[in-house]
Each structure stands twice: as C-alpha cells, then as structure tokens.
Chain A
Amino acid sequence: MKHTPLRHRVGVALLALAPLAANAADLTVSAAASLTNAFKELGAAFEAQNPGTTVVFNFAASDALLAQIVKGAPADVFASADQEAMAKADAQKVLAAGSRRNFVSNSLVMIVPSDSMLGLKRLADLQKTEVKRVAIGNPASAPVGRYTKGSLVAAKVWAAVEPKAVMAQSVRQALDYVARGEVEAGFVYSTDAAIMKDKVKVVATIPTEAAITYPIAAVSTGPNPDAARKWLDFVVTSAAQAVLARHGFSKP
C-alpha cells in the first residue's frame, strides 16, 4: 500500500477542521435575548423576501453580544435592549455611521411563579422575609438588570433586595428561574412573561426611569453590509412591526 506523506494527511485533516468561512449570503444578527421569539419569526419572513440569504441569529444579553462584537465577532447587525449597551458600542466605534435607530419598546414587569401563595403585589413586598431570592438580570451585562436596579433604587428597596438577588445572565434566565419556582419573584420584560403564561404570573408593571426602547444598528465591520441595511429597513416595515406587536412589543 502506498502511503501518503504524513503532512499531506495532516493537511487534509486540518482542512476538514477549518471553520467554514461565513457564507457571503449569511446575515448574522446579534440580538438581545428578549427578541428571541419575535426575531426568529422575522428571520423566516426576511428569508422568504430575500431568497438566497440565510439569517443567522446570536441571542444573548446585550452587553455579552457587545463584548463579542468589540472582540471582532463577525456580526452584521446589533440589536440591544437598552440605549446604554448601544452607546457603548458607539463609543467603541463598531457601528456603521448613521445606521442606529430605535425600532421597538417594551415594559418591565415583576413576576412570581404561577403557584406562588405569597401575595406579592408591589416592589415593597420584596422586603418581606418570606421572599428569600429574587431573580434579576446582572446589571453589568443585561439591560433588564439595569432597568430593574434603577427602578428598585428609585423605590428605595434596592438595599433590601440586593442581598436576595440572584444575578441572571440574561432576561431569559431570570424568567427560567421564576418559572422553575427557584426564586420567589423576578423581573423580566412583559414580552418574556407572555411566553411562559402557564408558569409565571405578572403581578406588577414597573415604571422605569428611562423608557425601555430597543436600538438597532449595522456593525461597521460586518461581512454583509448590504443585507444588514435591508434588515434594518425590514424591521420598521408595517409587516415586521405587526409581528413584533403580536409578540408584545410596542412601537418606539
């Protein structure tokens, strides 16, 4: 048997391991976790309108997405759940000039497990001793945590709640903690609470200091700027806004 030189064989093996370069027709959208369900539906509609383009989603807490983009992740579009994450992106000069716009708004709610018997109704109720743990997004990486902290500070209950806080990586993790009954209460967006209606109960809509608006922008280093622009235009069309509204998002 004739042996192929080892380095050839190694070369072939390495070739097989090489990551497939992002397809020219791929549109990579890094979006806030709370947009998961709505964006997946929009992705299918966008692909139907733009044959040959595949929309690839990367859902996580906004600041985690930002950290990836700043480190060179090949995202084309960045949609965050608050202005602060987008402002950081702007400051790091990773946004395509003039592409930033607000496209939806949301509201913050306090939720409890659906079988909760504690009768929690207001922020002040979180000070009760029966409330052992409260799920909130990590303010350092998840916008929902920043909104929550802001509201709790304004209501003067942050000092009492902070020791009970379980920091979630994203709003969806906070939702999961409440749905599993591992915490007595949690803070998520109204759109998140709506996807687990059978497991969580909304007890209060919490006013926030800054309105909860979601900005979206093209990433300046994105590999597919044309598709990015199309996506930005697409999400503000009435058809896309109708889908977003069905998932509970309001106009900005």
Chain B
Amino acid sequence: MDTSVWITLALTLKVAGCATAINLVLGVAVGWLLARRQFIGREFLDAVLTLPLVLPPTVMGYYLLVVIGKRGWLGHWLQQTFGVNLIFTWQGAVIAATIVAFPLVLKSARTAFESVDPQLEKAARVLGLSEWSVFFRVTIPMAWPGILAGVLLVFARSLGEFGATLMVAGSIPGRTQTLSIAVYEAVQAGQDDTANFLVAITSITCIAVLLAAGRLAPGRPQLR
C-alpha cells in the first residue's frame, strides 16, 4: 500500500501541475482578451467560460464524456485521425481538471488586467515599446499578483478535482486514480486505515501548497 500511495500522490501532482500550466497560458490570454478588447458576445463568452464554477461536476463530467468519449464528436474524430483516446487516461484527468478550474484564473486575470492603468501602457508605447514588449514588460508585471493568486487557486482546485475526473478518467490505480478518488474508493470499500492515511497525506500536501503560496505571493500588502 505504501508505494501505491506515493504513486497516487505523484500522479495527483502531475495532473494538477499540467492543468495549472495550461490554465496559466489560457487564463492570461483569455483574461486579457476579455479585459482589453471590445467584441460582440464578450460577456456571453465570460459567462460560458465561468460555467464550470457553478455547474455540478457531474454535469461537466457528462458534457466531457459526450464530447471527448469514444462516441463523442470530438473523441471520435481524435480516435479516427490520431488514434488518440482520452477517456480513462491521465490526460483525460488533466482536461477535466483544467476545465473545472479555468474560471478561477480567468476571473482573477481579467480583474487584474482591468486594474492596470491604460495610461501606463500608453506611456510605454510613446516611449517606443512594441505591443509585445508593452504586454510583457508593463501589463503582465503589473497584473502579476492577481494572476498568480488565480493560478494558485487553480492548482488547489485541480488537486481536489473529483466529480468530473472520476467520470472521465475513471479510477485506475497508478494511472488515473488521484488522491481524492483514492479516498473515495477507500471509504466505499470500508478501508478506514487507508482512508485515514490518504486523508492525512492530502491535508499535508494542501497545507504545503498554501504555505508555498504565501511565500510565492509576497506582493499582497504592496499590491497598491
């Protein structure tokens, strides 16, 4: 049991880490788009992308099954074209965690970008910086504390993702069984010793993440 717990923990961190990395890129891109660009359906897009925050995880899991399942339109196409199957794989778990946690970074990033004074960006442009340089040397550094807070929330949420992950990735020990699912399995089977151990590991991991988050985000008092 001992080694399998560490495999489960490593898998959980891998899934959460991948979901966080994807969300960092997507969250910054879409957050900036929503904050700085006017286009038709902007608020509608925001609402749709925020949906995973309010929809039950089972609903998200079902949507994912219908879309990326072997008989789903996207899943079928992936299978036919690339021979890729996402259901019951750790990559499927990453997709579930990514989508479920995405609103957290999106909201934070959008708010962070909106709070950056456009005058400063204008000044940078006047001083001759290209649009890319303005974005990476002015906008991002100023919005960073907000984005980072969102990213840490995403990591925490991905660590604990359960419902959609269970439906999409199943519970295969060593391959798709994350900590939260392993806890569920142990309780279902009445294996309280295993459950206690897993719960302790999960709690310690989360505390470590929160402490790390406190260190990583020293900017809070000096935000303004």
Contact = CB atoms under 8 A, between A and B. Distances in A.
A180 B168 CA distance: 12
B160 to A, nearest CB: 19
Contact of A166 (B85, B170, B185, B187): B170
B71 A141 contact: no
B190 interface: yes
A67 B189 CA distance: 7
Contact of A180 (B70, B85, B187): B70
Q: Interface range on chain B: under 10, 10 to 19, 20 to 34, or 35 or more?
A: 10 to 19
A166 B190 contact: no
Interface string B70-103: 1100000000000001011000000000000000
Given A165-B172, A167-B171, A63 B88 contact: no
Contacts of A67: 187-190
Contact of B191 (A140, A166, A180): A140
Interface in B206-220: none
Dominant secondary structure at the B interface: loop
Q: Interface range on chain A: under 10, 10 to 19, 20 to 34, or 35 or more?
A: 20 to 34
Contact of B188 (A133, A141, A166, A177): A141
A224 interface: no
Interface string B143-171: 00000000000000000000000000011
Given A167-B170, A167-B173, A64 B188 contact: yes
B69 interface: yes
A131 interface: no
B88 A182 contact: yes
A169 B171 contact: yes
A63 B69 contact: no
Interface of B: 65, 69-71, 85, 87-88, 170-173, 185, 187-191
